[in-house]
Amino acid sequence: MVYIRQDRLPKLKEYKYSGVDHSLVSRYVLKPFYTNVVINCFPMSMAPNLITLSGFSFVLLNILTLLYYTPTLDQDCPPWVYASWSIGLFLYQTFDAVDGTQARRTRQSGPLGELFDHGVDALNTSLEVLIFSATMNLGQGWKTLLILFASLLTFYVQTWDEYHTKTLTLGLVSGPVEGILTLCIVYALTAVMGGGSFWQQAMLPTLGVEKHAFIPELLYNLAWNEWYMVYGGAMLIFNTVSSTQNVLAARRNDNLPPWDALLGLLPFVAAWVLIPIYLYLHPIILHAHLIPFVLYVGLINAYSVGQMIVAHLTKSRFPMHNVLLLPLLFAILDSFGPVLVDVSGGLLGWPSALGEDVYQVAFMFLCLGLAVGVYGSFVVDVIVAICDYLDIWCLTIKHPYTPETEETEGKKIK
């Protein structure tokens, strides 16, 4: 046992899912659709985790078309590509929502399902940033990085909220519901409008709004993609403040120091202090190799989120470390050597081992490979540990539910 200590395994049997969804769209539109229509498409023999993984495969197909048609994130694609991104994301959302219903009707609900569901969602978050940036023709640069920051922060804070409150809370407007539906609509509109270049136009003139004196020039000339970033920033602030209030209230109810919980945000803060510094020092990564770097950063976040979920399931201490940040720290320290040499006139500093060209790019890909290895070992080890302890399988149903099983268990209880 590497990631789950032996003495924490019994806590897995105390697991009980707790979730609150305040979304009106989810309550009156999506859930009836899932419950009355979609769930009937899946046989009782299909494991809930397999439904989750099947949904994620649609996102992976979207990424493959992205890499083929717009590897620089700034080229118009054929309309069918954007349409496929919209359909793929909607199918992912649908499969991701139905897996819980499948788990309940097959009596397979458990901690592994929550871990698997959150793990896939964490990976999808960074992948969807790439697809959205390609849809908006944002290219490889600071705008794409800003969207990545907002998306990962939203997911991290939501998981941090769940760890402390023991409840997954989705507000009136949330990323998994309204956020994904918004993206689906944007992708579909891009297919209709003929490509991502449409979103580069100023929104107000495109809508036919006349220029008035009370409208600032900067505001009037904001492009569609920039308006979306403003909207996303507002939602980010709203969700972050809401989650923080939930956590502080939960800590007070448990008679615990409320502000100590904020220390759990430090791993994310540490990562996002290092990330922009590294990219500022190495513009070749920012402007020419941002896609693999986004994948690396996405795995950093997924690893932190995965550790949080495991700590939540096993009622362990909040994880404050992330080994995947160490290569990034090394690269920054390596790059600061020549800077100090220039500033001090040769009195301080050291030569860079990686340089700025091919070795720096190779190191970044090495970081990505390391992240895949570390996160992959984490996922495999935790899944194997949980499956062995609870006597279940991950992608198939080991102990199918039958009415006879329920009757036998009822007699045992009596």
- The C-alpha R_g of the chain, in whole angstroms, comes to 23
Distance CA 284, CA 271 (A): 20
CB-based contacts of 410, cutoff 8 Å, min separation 6: none
- How long a stretch of residues is the chain? 414
Active site residue 22: no
User: Residue type for 304, please?
Assistant: S
The catalytic residue among 22, 118, 164, 312 is: 118
> Token digits for 30?
């999506």
Residue 257, classified by CB atoms within 10 Å of its CB into exposed (0-12), middle (13-18) or buried (19+), is exposed
The residues that bridge with 21 in the sheet, in sequence order, are 170
Taking residue 404's Cβ as centre, other Cβ atoms within 10 Å add up to 8
User: What residues are paired with 223 via a beta bridge?
Assistant: 202
> Element (H or E) spanning 63, and its range?
helix 48-69
Which of 125, 117, 137 minimizes the C-alpha distance to 76?
Answer: 137
Active site residues: 118
